[in-house]
Structure 1
Amino acid sequence: MSRIGNKVIQVPASVTVNISDANFVNVKGPKGELEFQFNEIIDIKLEGNEIKVSRPNNAIFTRKIHGTTRALLNNMVVGVSEGFKKQLEIKGVGYRAALEGKILNLSLGFSHPVLLDIPEGVTITLPKNTEIIVEGYDKQVVGEFAAKIRSYRKPEPYLGKGIRYIDEYVPRKAGKTAK
């Protein structure tokens, strides 16, 4: 039994959900619009303001995608109603971020600045030049872009310099000791 797959998804009043016969789901809300083609084996039903996801049999493949389908649907509903947010912080002398229109400019100790195009549906805010907040309605795009930013200078274990998530724990190592 999939515990996640059996949970009912509550749809807020500001969100509209359309489910076609081939499990093509379109979700519209105040933050944006998402659509996804789910596997036709899984049964997705909209009853009032609730979405129920069920599986017709207990085949291994059906059991695998039951919970995943429900989680993806829930992320779509939450994304268009509330949105998702990832917070990053930059640590290191001279490391900083700046916004130039639709381009994120990162100074990370390289001989050149790192310029990143901000994807569609994602907004970047910089409360300080060492903090980056990535927000959007698509959880996958927000997570991918935050991971891409972090990948340019991952936190290193000796001084802790680099880009890290706000709640990330970076294990620290002792440096060299004198004789």
Structure 2
Amino acid sequence: MNLLVFSPTNDFKKFIEFWIQLYDHNSPWETNYEKHLKVGKPFTHKDILQLFEWENQAGLGRIRAEAIKDKIYPHLEYINDMKFEDLINLDEFHSKFETVQAVSRTFLLHIMKPEVYPLYDQNIHVAYNFIHGIDSDIYPFPKRPEDKIKFYFRKLIPFIESVRGTLSLKKIDEALNSYGQMVKKNPKIKHEF
């Protein structure tokens, strides 16, 4: 199989269409996304927990589930209010969730506004780096929460907005996740293009 890579000279939509085929749509967790996202309906505590299980793709474990209950559940009313607002005040958002892990914070933004805020994880980071010719050994997935947040807002969002056209952010996530996984499994591919 010829692997389709993305560069400024080829079509992002074709790139997404190619890589989305390699996404595991049959994962037992995949139904949690559509079932609990419920665009147009307020979230329940169960929705939040099930969506985080989807994001984790392997269950949450007791410690992570407790963190969600302690740090996110108390703000369910705020989350639902922001879900139905046109814009989210990011300073207020970060203040409310400053003790929540950075990737979980970006995930909260995504579930509140799934067509505004993309998903972000290690696979997405690796895909971004590879697309931009950045060596992930030199610039790996950030360890510090503030660096993850900076990358998300300063690099990832502007990039996706510049190439997405009419594609849904979920489809872009599926394709970039597949692409990032391929790059991680095949580190020598970095030197082939």
TM range (shorter): under 0.3
TM-score where L is the length of structure 1? 0.25
- Structure showing greater Rg: 1
Bigger RCO of structures 1 and 2 (CA < 8 A, at least 6 apart): 2
**Greater helix proportion:** 2
TM-score where L is the length of structure 2? 0.24
**Greater strand proportion:** 1
